[in-house]
Amino acid sequence: MNNFELNKILGAVLVALLAAKVFDITGSSLVAPVIKLKKDVLVVAIPEGGAAGHAAKEKEIGPITPLLATANIANGEKSFKKCMQCHVIEKDKPHGIGPSLWGIVGRAIASLGDYAYSSSLKEKASAVWDVEALNHFIHNPRKFAKGTKMTFMGIETDQERADLIAYLQKAAH
């Protein structure tokens, strides 16, 4: 074997090593995003709930009054935790992100002078929060008042809304 041949062999080995290295890098960078993508797709898919979840929200709901007779106030108090992120219900406590809900059942819509309501809710100020208005608003805030700044998904279950409204009635009077 002369030097020239040895160089050729060494050269070939070097090329092979380089190729393996390059392939390795390409390989892992090809695999990594695929795994990551799978993860992202899963994370996005679950909370979205799909179009079906949205369609269910558009359904018409019946009157809540018949369910109020047998409503469970203790369960309503538990549901109110969903509202506490933005609302207080105790008398004389300052507003949160949303207006205080003290005395909300029977109170005129958007009627607290020291709270900056959306114009969407202010347009309804001639009406009162009776139990049916609350029922619709809590079921789907944006359907009741398009453009409301209450960014809350709504409560789907009739009984849960009844329990919650019964709690609002009891706690805030």
Which residues are at the interface with ligand HEC (CB under 6 A)? 82-83, 85-87, 97-99, 101, 104, 109-110, 112, 117-118, 120-121, 129, 134, 137-138, 148-152, 155
Q: How far is the CB of 143 from ligand HEC (least distance, A)?
A: 13
Residue number with CB closer to ligand HEC (14 or 125) = 125
Residues with Cβ < 8 Å from 22, sequence gap 6 or more? none
Alpha-carbon distance 23 to 121, whole Å?
61
CB 80 within 8 A of CB 167: yes
Instruction: Give the shortest CB-63-to-ligand HEC separation in angstroms.
Output: 18
In whole angstroms, the minimum distance from the beta carbon of 49 to ligand HEC comes to 18
**Among residues 22 and 125, whose Cβ is nearest to ligand HEC?**
125
Q: Select 151 or 157, whichever has its Cβ closest to ligand HEC.
A: 151
Encode 65-79: b = buried (16+ Cβ within 10 Å), e = exposed: eebbeebbeebbbeb
Find the shortest distance in angstroms from Cβ 147 to ligand HEC: 7
CA–CA gap between residue 71 and residue 76 (Å, rounded): 8
> Six-digit token pair at 108?
């005129």
